[in-house]
């Protein structure tokens, strides 16, 4: 009985929160409230997608219209084009951003000076905090008829290019913009993963005569595969969404470029601005979320079949 009493006392003691734990929970409180208010409470507005929403009647008072709000998107002449652009550009972004992030993380990992690493990381991460509006002006300064790029082309004896009337160039331009802005932040996760690796593996490989490329190919990349898989699965969840700021501001909403730059988010924005139909935009937003959820589940299931250790759940 005495032993049981002592065990019960130990359990009671363990249940008490320490000052340190209370501080951690207090730090968690504000983010948890923000997530609840901005991510969970708005879910009640999903019903707008199935209603003919009127501002004067409100959400509950508006008339139910079933799936009519989804029809405007599927029967639109631009449906095939904007769906292809969204999927194709997001596929390019996922492919290039993760490959570049791993490459940059490995380069940073090879820098032995912590001070230099911090300087390089700061330089790389800074573009992430620059607004797409400002990026759009930078791109315009480079690509307008009298811009820096055309000036260099002229000085080399070539003919200037009217970039804002040539839709074929813009997938590459948008990929470069996305890389420039996000490569620093994307590489942080991979760099953290590299910092957590067992350095004795690298030392053993060097003793065996392995060069840098062999170490990267045989040790670093295989150890990064689980993290890469999880991050790619999460990225695929947003493959049916597009970065509105990038696709709307950087091409400057020029109609001649819609062939390659018009995506679901910009199309819905223009439809909402011109028609003012909240139900239609809500329907497309719900569709994007459902498709994103399905793609995450499918990708995770495929990953789990190939290697259960690399799956998200």
pLDDT in tens, 67-125: 888 887 888 778 889 999 999 999 999 999 999 999 999 999 988 888 898 999 999 99
In the block, which residue shows the tokens 């994103």?
292
Return the domain boundaries, the chain: 2-48, 77-310
Cβ pair 245, 257 in contact under 8 A: no
CA–chain centroid gap for 171, Å, is: 17
Q: Which DSSP symbol is given to 57?
A: T
Neighbouring C-beta atoms of residue 19, cutoff 10 Å: 7
Residue 7: the pLDDT is 56
Listed in order, strand segments (DSSP E) in the chain are 51-54, 62-64
Lowest mean pLDDT among 19-33, 126-140, 146-160: 19-33
Residue 166: the pLDDT is 93
- Helix, strand, coil abundance in the chain, percent, nearest 5: 80, 0, 20
Tokens of 308: 């259960």
Tokens of 167: 């839709």
Kindly state the average pLDDT of the residues 275-296. Answer: 83
Residue 8: the pLDDT is 58
Rounded to two decimals, the pTM is 0.82
Cβ pair 122, 235 in contact under 8 A: no
Residue 287: the pLDDT is 86
Cβ pair 155, 269 in contact under 8 A: no
Distances (CA, A) of 247 to 105, 170, 232: 27, 10, 21
Please provide residue 250's backbone torsions phi and psi, each rounded to the nearest 5 degrees: -65, -45
Please provide residue 143's backbone torsions phi and psi, each rounded to the nearest 5 degrees: -110, -5
Cβ pair 310, 225 in contact under 8 A: yes
Tokens of 35: 């997530």
Residue 102: the pLDDT is 94
- Measured CA to CA, the distance from residue 6 to residue 98 in angstroms comes to 53
- Measured CA to CA, the distance from residue 193 to residue 220 in angstroms comes to 10
Tokens of 72: 């405007």
Cβ pair 293, 237 in contact under 8 A: yes
CATH superfamily, domain 77-310, is MetI-like (1.10.3720.10)
Phi-psi sector, 18: left (phi>0), alpha (psi -120 to 50), beta: beta
Residues 6+ apart with CB under 8 A from 180: 127
pLDDT of residue 308 exceeding 90? no
Mean pLDDT of all residues belonging to the chain: 86
Residue 306: the pLDDT is 79
Kindly state the average pLDDT of the residues 138-167. Answer: 92
């Amino acid at each position: 009985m005495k032993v049981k009493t002592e065990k019960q006392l130990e359990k009671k003691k363990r249940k008490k929160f320490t000052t340190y734990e209370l501080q951690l929970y207090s730090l968690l409180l504000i983010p948890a409230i923000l997530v609840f208010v901005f991510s969970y409470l708005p879910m009640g507005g999903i019903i707008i997608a199935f209603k003919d929403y009127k501002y004067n009647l409100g959400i509950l008072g508006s008339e139910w219209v079933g799936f009519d709000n989804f029809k405007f998107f599927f029967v639109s002449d631009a449906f095939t084009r904007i769906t292809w652009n969204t999927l194709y550009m997001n596929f390019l972004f996922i492919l290039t951003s993760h490959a570049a992030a791993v490459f940059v993380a490995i380069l940073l990992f090879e820098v032995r000076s912590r001070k230099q690493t911090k300087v390089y990381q700061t330089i790389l991460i800074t573009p992430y905090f620059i607004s797409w509006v400002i990026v759009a002006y930078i791109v315009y300064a480079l690509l307008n008829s009298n811009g820096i790029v055309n000036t260099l082309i002229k000085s080399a004896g070539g003919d200037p290019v009217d970039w804002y009337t040539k839709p074929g160039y813009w997938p590459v331009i948008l990929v470069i913009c996305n890389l420039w802005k996000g490569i620093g932040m994307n590489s942080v996760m991979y760099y953290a993963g590299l910092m957590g690796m067992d350095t004795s593996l690298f030392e053993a490989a060097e003793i065996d005569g392995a060069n840098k490329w062999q170490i990267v190919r045989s040790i670093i990349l295989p150890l990064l595969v689980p993290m890469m898989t999880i991050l790619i699965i999460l990225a695929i969840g947003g493959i049916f969404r597009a970065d509105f700021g990038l696709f709307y501001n950087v091409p400057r909403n020029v109609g001649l470029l819609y062939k390659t730059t018009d995506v679901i988010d910009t199309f819905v924005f223009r439809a909402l601005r011109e028609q003012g139909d909240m139900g239609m935009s809500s329907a497309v937003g719900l569709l994007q979320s459902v498709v994103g959820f399905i793609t995450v589940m499918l990708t995770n299931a495929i990953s789990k079949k190939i290697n259960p250790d690399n799956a998200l759940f």
